[in-house]
Amino acid sequence: MATFADLEAEVKTIADAFTSINHYHYGERNSINFADRTKTYPALLFDSKRVSFTNKRVSRNGLPIVKEYNCTLFLMDDYNNAEKASKELADKEAELVAIGDQFWAEFRTRTKSTSRGLLITEFSGLAASVRDSQHNNKVVEIEYNFTIEITNEVCTLGTFNY
């Protein structure tokens, strides 16, 4: 029914459709700086290096039919020197939190049942921090950790020649 690629495509679909997110990237955390030099913020990064999974249920023939993935998303926005003159950091963070809340509301709506093979089972780990970017401005960043079950009923046995 679904694969990890379907999960990544779902996140991308929501990010691309969401008018408050201007850039989406799947890759290593630092790769967002190099993936698209013309990107604009806010940006959503699906961290490819922080994905892990366990087989939660297997079929009678031993193939996994439900996997549980632990994933991390970063929602980022720039807080440049010009903006610092008119906006407090707390206000900037509040704007980003609101965008994150809207993204996750849509994500939960689209993954609240197993009919599409994706079921969010845990959502936690909200932590905001300010980090230096490569251009001497700051990036406001929120890290989201979530767990999702992926049902894969189309997995077939491999061919083995002994």
Of residues 51 and 134, more confidence is placed in 51
pLDDT in tens, 68-119: 999 999 999 888 888 888 988 888 888 998 999 999 999 988 887 767 788 8
Cα→Cα distances 40→36, 58, 154, Å: 9, 43, 39
| pLDDT at 61 (0 to 100) | 85
Burial of 61 (0-12, 13-18, 19+ CB in 10 A): exposed
Q: Which residue segments constitute the domains of the chain, with CATH numbers given?
A: 4-151 (3.30.2000)
Rg of the chain taking only CA atoms, in angstroms:
18
CA distance 51 to 6: 14
In 3D space, the residue among 24, 123, 13 whose CA is nearest the CA of residue 76 turns out to be: 24
What pTM does this model have? 0.86
Q: What are phi and psi for residue 75, nearest 5 degrees?
A: -105, 125
Residue 51 has pLDDT above 70, yes or no: yes
Q: How far apart are the first and last CA of the chain?
A: 31
CB 29 within 8 A of CB 144: no
pLDDT, tens only, 114-148: 677 888 887 665 555 656 555 556 778 888 888 89
Q: Rounding to the nearest 10 degrees, give the CA dihedral for residues 103, 113, 123, 110.
A: -10
